Amino acid sequence: MQAIVYERYGSPDVMQLREIAQPVPRAGEVLVKVHAASVNMADWHLLTADIFLVRLAAGLFKPKRSILGIDVAGRVETVGAGSRRFQPGDAVFGDLFPNHGSFAEYVAVPESILETMPVNLSFAQAAAVPLAAMTALQGLRLGRIAAGQRVLINGASGGVGSFTVQLAKYFGAEVTAVCSSGNVEQARILGADQVIDYKREDFTTAGRQYDLIVAPYSAVPLSAYRRVLSPRGRYVMIGGQGSLFFQLMVFGPLLSKKGGQTFSLLSAKGNAQDLAFLKELLAAGKLRPVIDRHYPLAQTAEALRYLGAGHARGKVVIDVVQEAV
Ligand SMILES: NC(=O)c1ccc[n+]([C@@H]2O[C@H](COP(=O)([O-])OP(=O)(O)OC[C@H]3O[C@@H](n4cnc5c(N)ncnc54)[C@H](OP(=O)(O)O)[C@@H]3O)[C@@H](O)[C@H]2O)c1
């Protein structure tokens, strides 16, 4: 089969299209013929090892697993011993993390992490969902989202942000989206009640307060968030500048008070229950993936380079099988 292989950490230039052996599903796994994958910042971190901690988990000197790709959508090709949930031919999607390997024509996947695809989605749309949408859902739940809350989403236009806006609206919140000028219209279309263009206005000095702030992108220090959170407001950091992660890890627990403001860091984990919940919303048309760009498998390095530049508008998809339009 064809796969995008990397054998050392580095820029997208280290990725190569190669012919390699097809994986064989073990007990409890199914072999999926990959129709589409999508790229995530986790792939970027695993490729570049720009965060040193990546090396502790993925290999100190070189990556232990040579194929990236966490999100997958495709058809079950064969099933391993004891796998009973799916039949060959079923259309499935899922989030492979902490494993990866969907930048390839086939991947062996534990059946427990997959869900059947909603029938109204293409493979490309389904591949855009799992990691980003589950992260958005878990971020909002960590912040105890409730109907009627004033929720601000900082970094509302990327993969995670575009799902966070839609899910916050689904939960009945009044949503303020923060994004750059070119993405203001998209945030409105996704349902945001107010949109702040961070290039023109600083929400930390605008005098408004929020019950929940969820940040798929954060470049704002905790002291500024404290000002704009209501007295019992919650802040959930999902992504952003590395120094702010450390600030949150050190000072978050000290600043979080019972009955007062709380500051937490999300560590999202894919699971079949959350994917099933999202599948229902997708099937009912209450949630939709926003796809910025499509790339063929051979141009996965280009897709990662684009994502790594930090301004994708929604998700970036790899079409492993070109679908008829
Ligand atoms: N904690 C977890 O468990 C977890 C799980 C998954 C992902 N993540 C992290 O979450 C982050 C977002 O992931 P993603 O897939 O959504 O990435 P993405 O698709 O690349 O989106 C990043 C977004 O950040 C926005 N942005 C850049 N500068 C900004 C600024 N100054 N103010 C506000 N927004 C700004 C960009 O919007 P504009 O183009 O409009 O500027 C872009 O759309 C990443 O750092 C990722 O590593 C964390």
Tokens coding 284:
């009912």
* pLDDT tens profile 124-175: 999 999 999 999 999 999 999 999 999 999 999 999 999 999 999 999 999 9
3-state secondary structure of 14: helix
Does residue 153 contact residue 176 with C-beta atoms inside 8 Å? yes
* pLDDT tens profile 203-241: 999 999 999 999 999 988 999 999 999 999 999 999 998
* pLDDT tens profile 230-282: 999 999 999 998 889 889 999 999 989 888 999 999 999 999 999 999 999 99
Looking at residue 277, what is its pLDDT? 98
Q: Which domains does the chain have, with CATH numbers?
A: 2-129+289-319 (3.90.180.10), 132-265 (3.40.50.720)
d(CA 5, CA 101) in angstroms, rounded, equals 9
Looking at residue 324, what is its pLDDT? 66
Atom of ligand 1 nearest to the CA of 265: 1
Percent of the chain with pLDDT over 70: 99
Atom of ligand 1 nearest to the CA of 311: 39
Ligand 1 center–CA 212 separation, angstroms = 18
Looking at residue 74, what is its pLDDT? 98
Ligand 1 lining (C-beta closer than 6 Å): 40-41, 132, 135, 154-155, 157-161, 178-180, 183, 198, 216-217, 219, 238-239, 266-268, 307, 310-312
Report the sign of the C-alpha dihedral through residues 117, 119, 122, 128, in that order: negative
User: DSSP letters along 49-64, please?
Assistant: --STHHHHHH-SSS-S
